[in-house]
Amino acid sequence: MNDFLHTAQSGSFNFSSSTDRYIFGPTAELRLPFGLGVEADILYRHFSFTQTNAASAASTINSSSSAWEFPILAKYRFSGKIIHPYIDGGIAWDKISGVTQSISTLSIKDTTTGFVLGGGVSVKVLLIRISPEIRYTRWGAKHFFDLNGGLSSNQNQAEFLVGITF
């Protein structure tokens, strides 16, 4: 729902970014009595950014990377006949991998931890369960920070996820 990176333009450098709008990966849930449960996910996203020197268009640096997110969530499922609303919360770890370019003014922190809150509904259709969810993560630190102020990662992450489980 929001970009992974913030970009800006300054007098000497211009940044632009592209965040793929998909996140995918496996999920597992342990259902406990009284509507409680524990969920663990492995989520993957790809993003890229470009730095251009304002004085020379020939001085363009294209970079791409991947982020792996590992949330572990406590879940409470409300009772319902067909639709089961739920809330979840927990902690997540994020790991940046495969940065193809390093810029001297760019500070990169490849791992960070954050707190997660979410909510959604779960609907069972034949043998599958479809669970759309809105999830918010507040990361404890920025992955990217440009000393010139042109590029930084977003510490507030809002996502719309759809889980399909069997």
Q: What was the pLDDT predicted at 133?
A: 97
Query: Per-domain residue ranges for the chain?
Result: 5-165
Using left for φ > 0, alpha for ψ between -120 and 50, and beta otherwise, residue 34 falls in left
Q: Provide the 10 A C-beta neighbour count for residue 159.
A: 17
CATH of span 5-165: 2.40.160
Mean pLDDT of 141-165: 84
Q: What was the pLDDT predicted at 92?
A: 96
Mean pLDDT of 127-135: 94
Q: What was the pLDDT predicted at 162?
A: 94
Is pLDDT larger for residue 39 or for residue 97?
A: 39
34 phi and psi angles, rounded to 5 deg: 65, 30
Signed CA dihedral, 63, 7, 154, 132: sign only: negative
Residue 38 has pLDDT above 60, yes or no: yes
Q: What was the pLDDT predicted at 94?
A: 93
DSSP-assigned states of every residue in 117-138: EEEEEEEEETTEEEEEEEEEEE
pLDDT band at 99 (very low <50, low <70, confident <90, very high): confident
pLDDT over 70, % of the chain: 76
Q: Give the Cα separation of 143 and 163 in Å (integer).
A: 26
Per-residue pLDDT reduced to its tens digit, 47-98: 877 777 666 555 666 777 888 999 999 999 999 888 999 999 999 999 988 7
Q: What was the pLDDT predicted at 53?
A: 67
> pTM of the full predicted structure?
0.80
Q: What was the pLDDT predicted at 146?
A: 73
* Side-chain-side CA neighbours of residue 137 (13 Å): 28
Residue 6 has pLDDT above 60, yes or no: no
Q: Give the Cα separation of 119 and 136 in Å (integer).
A: 9
